[in-house]
Amino acid sequence: MLLTITADQSESLGDASDLGHLLHKHPERVQQFDVFGGSATVFYPEVTPERCSVALVLEIDPIGLVRGRSRNREGFSLAQYVNDRPYAATSLLAVALGKVFRTALGARCDARPELVEAALPLTVEMPAVPGGATLVEQLFAPLGWTVDARPVPLDPTIPAWGDSTYSQVRLTGTLPLHAALNHLYVLIPVLDNGKHYWVGPDEVEKLVRAGSGWLGSHPQRELISRRYLAHQRGMVDEARTRLAELDDSPTGATEDGEFPAPARPLVAQRHDAVLEQVERARPASVVDLGCGQGALLRRLLTMQGVQRVVGTEVSDHALTVAAKRLHVDGMTERQADRLDLWLSSLQYQDDRLRGTGAKGFDVAVLMEVIEHIDASRLPAVSGNIFGFMAPRVVVVTTPNAEHNVLYPQLAAGAMRHPDHRFEWTRQEFATWCSGVGERHDYTVEILPIGSVDPDHGAPTQMAVFTRTDGAA
């Protein structure tokens, strides 16, 4: 099993041999690693200032793969010993990639930190990839790769037998090395549509972590999730929710048929925009209403001057995941005192959130929350937030329905998430904001988030409500 990655000299990579710094593998050394089922060897077949190639050779012992398994287990057959594992790019290669290049996958390079996010001209080659050439194109092309996938004949000497289900693959693109490695780490098992190990709940976290910044907007996101998670419905549903947090940026080919290079994820832009408004308010306390699985809470906890952070959710499962992601069990007593995770519904008044005396919050955030509430219940919810809780500043974000026509994966009139009860146009959002502000004595400023289309506006719209001095 073979994988090669080649970097060419460029403006970002003045000396191509600096690829060794990013991979944390010295070009003059041949290194070997023990991996499941065999061994992985890393070496550099070519090292010059103009061009540098690294090779990962995975040698698999098919007998070792099944050694120790019960011969009475269901499915025991000769196929356990005679299969494509020794030569085809499968989950075994992805696991080896994760072990051998772990630091590079995590986007860390202490020796040359300026190269971590640099877009490098890269070429990736794999001689035997399962899944078919069409699927390879569907998975890698939307990520900015130029794909050359050629079917491997069953037997070159007997043309009548036709092609096998394997392809010889060559990917070329200009992107950060850590992004390229994460694409391979996720998509190689997807092409194989199977894993050599038991797929447990921790695989969701792996998928979300490795897919951060690109998987949320991939047109084949559903197929990738299903295959990566072995078609286990519960985990696929959880991944769908987590990936919806990652990104909802438009994606697809341009008019000339080219796929644009992945931009900064919309979810990251949304977080930045919300946090900028929170910082402007200089709060001592912040509540994230509908915090989900804690995507925003981590950054709120690092904000200077914030002494108290509360996340609320109607889903106990979401709060459990948030606590795990924030490593609450490992916090010091002082850190834990700053954070609360509460089971609470916006449709009911919660005395813990009441805006009176020292208990009141300086800032409340509702990031992509209101569209999940039935429209008939919005007046009660807004009265609860702006009247009962009455924080000094309220930051609200929601999708801009006008922008949906730019999402090629959405059918006409469809919404971005199956749980959305509505999605507002810019005028509908402005009307709602104005009414809430007048009823509860708040001024309001509406701002776009994401790239602004001249006809359809930005993908996300944000309102910043500020309580007037005379408000109760």
**Average pLDDT over the chain, rounded to whole?**
85
Write the pLDDT tens digit of every residue in 1-45. 789 999 998 887 888 888 998 998 988 899 998 887 788 899 999
- Alpha-carbon torsion, ordered 134, 139, 140, 143, to 10 deg: 140
pLDDT of res. 146: 95
Quick one: how far is CA 424 from the chain centroid? 25
- Classify burial at 421, counting beta carbons within 10 Å of its beta carbon; exposed 0-12, middle 13-18, buried 19 or more: middle
Lowest mean pLDDT among 53-62, 110-119, 167-176, 240-249: 240-249
Write the pLDDT tens digit of every residue in 358-378. 568 999 999 999 999 999 999
Distance in angstroms (rounded) separating the CA atoms of residues 213 and 265: 5
Write the pLDDT tens digit of every residue in 263-308. 567 888 899 999 999 999 999 999 999 998 888 998 999 899 999 9
Write the pLDDT tens digit of every residue in 69-85. 544 444 445 455 555 65
Distance in angstroms (rounded) separating the CA atoms of residues 202 and 316: 19
- Sign of the dihedral defined by the CA atoms of residues 212, 216, 218, 221, in that order: positive
Q: How many CA atoms lie within 13 A of 231 on its CB side?
A: 2
pLDDT above 50 for 254 = no
**pLDDT confidence bin for 66, thresholds 50/70/90:** low
Lowest mean pLDDT among 52-61, 167-176, 253-262: 253-262
* Main-chain phi, psi angles of 157, to 5 degrees: -85, -10
Left if phi > 0, otherwise alpha if psi is -120 to 50, otherwise beta: which for 458? beta
pLDDT of res. 212: 80
Write the pLDDT tens digit of every residue in 380-433. 999 999 999 999 999 999 999 999 998 876 778 888 887 899 999 999 999 999
Question: Which residue type occupies 399?
Answer: P
pLDDT of res. 398: 96
Q: What share of the chain is helix, strand, coil (3-state, %, to 5)?
A: 40, 25, 40
Write the pLDDT tens digit of every residue in 312-322. 999 888 898 88
In three state form, how does the secondary structure of 192-260 look? HCCCCCCCCCHHHHHHHHHCCCCHHHCCCHHHHHHHHCCCCHHHHHHHHHHHHHHCCCCCCCCCCCCCC
The model's pTM: 0.61
**pLDDT confidence bin for 182, thresholds 50/70/90:** very high
Token pair 């050629």 is found at: 150
* pLDDT, average across residues 134-154: 91
Q: How many CA atoms lie within 13 A of 232 on its CB side?
A: 16
Question: Which helix (DSSP H) or strand (DSSP E) does residue 191 occupy?
Answer: helix 177-192
Domains, the chain, with CATH or none = 2-197 (3.30.1610.20), 266-467 (3.40.50.150)
Token pair 């769908």 is found at: 240
pLDDT of res. 388: 93
Distance in angstroms (rounded) separating the CA atoms of residues 424 and 396: 13
